[in-house]
Structure 1
Amino acid sequence: MIIKATENDIPTIQHLAKKSWNSTYAHILEQKQIDYMLGLMYSESTLKTHFKNPNYQYYLIQEDEVFLGFIGFEFHNEPETTKLHRIYFLKEAQGKGLGKKALEFVKTETEKAGDKRLTLTVNKNNDAKKFYESQGFKVYDVAIFDIGNSYVMDDYLMEFIIAK
């Protein structure tokens, strides 16, 4: 089940982010960088800012009354483009088809919003790239983003074109 999140769900989002990031990125990034990025991207003030933006959407993914993941995306991030900022699941949720359902949901919401393109970034060492490609995403560029504290994100930029 995909449920629209509210500001009251910030602790749940933070909990899911911490657990999923620590399992997803443990073999890619140093723990210090994971902790830094979690603090930067999932602080209460950052998340509250997202919730105040009417184009920024958060949804929780639930199965059997248990929250297993979340998605965060932003309509009109660029002209006619929705950006998928966050899609994370707990380790125990993987292989259940929830990622596919969540991406289909975001694609549908992107189309409803009138955007024609869905973009995301994925770390160059993250196996999720293969998953995104299996769902129709293509790499259109690469980028290195300076995120402060002498850390960078070295990512593939991927897109999915919404068929009309």
Structure 2
Amino acid sequence: MKLIKATGEDIPLIQDLARRSWVIAYAEILSEEQMEYMLSEMYSEQEIASHLEKPDYHYYLIADEHNDSYEGFIGYEHNYEDRTTKLHRIYLVPESKGKGFGKGALRFLNEKVSENGNKRIILNVNKNNAARKFYESQGYTVYDEGVFDIGNGFVMDDYLMEFLIHE
């Protein structure tokens, strides 16, 4: 596994990986209308490009060196809150799940967060998303929950999770 820093040229690849992973990850959770709305808003070229312009926001492509393929991506933002990094997105294409890419990406994130001096990682996970169990297996805990209006009559009903970096 190799993590490669994404650039503006990688936006179409990020969009493709997001769509491929979302179709399976959210098929039972979100309506097709909400999924399309969220993909068009959260993964528009303009939205991703605006993230890439921020010095604390990073995207990395998750590559499988053995198959010469991209398996997913991770997007996070240092200093989202005081000494806190927010994991905004981590997605793997369905055929790559269970192969250690997610764990490897979270280890990579822990290293980057430590290098940056942050002490906490936070994320939101849909209450019906099985990914919660994955995060818990990696040491994340639920610290709150919330319902967030994302526009167009849609909401996200999420658990808020955190991981504390211990040096």
Q: TM-score range by the shorter chain?
A: over 0.9
Matches within 5 A, 1:1-164: 1-63=2-64, 64-164=67-167
Consecutive unaligned residues of structure 1, counting only runs of 5 or more, are: none
Could you report, residue by residue, the CA deviation over 1:98-147 in whole angstroms, capped at 9, with x for unpaired residues? 00000010111011000000000000000000000000000000011100
Q: Which amino acid aligns with 1:22?
A: V
TM-score for the superposition, normalised by structure 1: 0.99
Residue 65 of structure 1 deviates from its aligned partner by 1.2
Partner of 1:49, secondary structure, is helix
Where 2:146 maps in the other structure, the secondary structure is: strand
Gaps of 5+ in 2: none
Letter in 2 for 1:142: E
Q: TM-score, normalised by structure 2?
A: 0.97
Paired-residue identity, %: 55
Q: C-alpha root-mean-square deviation of aligned residues, in Å?
A: 0.5
The 2-side partners of 1:158 and 1:24 are apart by: 18
Instruction: Spell out structure 1 runs of 4+ moving beyond 2 A.
Output: none
Query: What SS does structure 2 have at the residue aligned with 1:26?
Result: coil
2:95 is paired with a residue whose SS is helix
